[in-house]
Amino acid sequence: MDSHGQNEQQVVWAVVGTGIGPLLLAATRAGLVNVVFHATDPVRDKALDRLASRLGSEPVEAPGSPLLAEPIHQVEAYFAGRRRDFELPLDWSLISGFNRQVLRELAAGVPYGSVVGYGDLAGRVGQPGAAQAVGVAMGSNPLPVVVPCHRVVESDGGIGGFGGGLETKRKLLALEGVLPEPLF
């Protein structure tokens, strides 16, 4: 409890180098709460301000924190090709409603090396015809890579959009063997 008798949310973060560039990982006592692509200084600072605003606590850089040890280990193993599934507690507090429902289904039901269409994912959560809303949910995913929104593609075979950029999506799908590695 803080000096006002409130439970203060502890938020710790670190930046991890990966094959797709630096990722910011942030965690609370409940679990991994945020993953941010392209975590250069300006992107990182904006993400940390947003986290502080949303969670009511100033995030603290703590790469050695026990709250981050396993997320860092698993992310590094994933990019090294030694891990296919993330087994981490997740803090879903940054997302709610339909978006949370879709992301939970994605995390549980679309394994490494496979893809799903936006419409198919909508059907899995009982909302056939809500493909566009699934796209919005993917764009609001606070836990990309760990909750694999890169595995959601267009039904006509197109790659679809991606908050981390299409080159990043292609690299993630290539890492998982869905797409060939880019030649250059």
The span from the CA of 84 to the CA of 71, in Å, is 14
The span from the CA of 17 to the CA of 6, in Å, is 35
Q: Point out the catalytic residue in the list 12, 33, 125, 149.
A: 149
Query: Which contacts (CB < 8 Å, 24+ apart) does range 3-7 have?
Result: none
Helix (H), strand (E) at residue 32: strand 31-36
Active-site residue flag, 149: yes
Q: What is the DSSP string of 147-175?
A: S-GGGEE-TTS-----TT-HHHHHHHHHH
Which residues form the catalytic set? 149
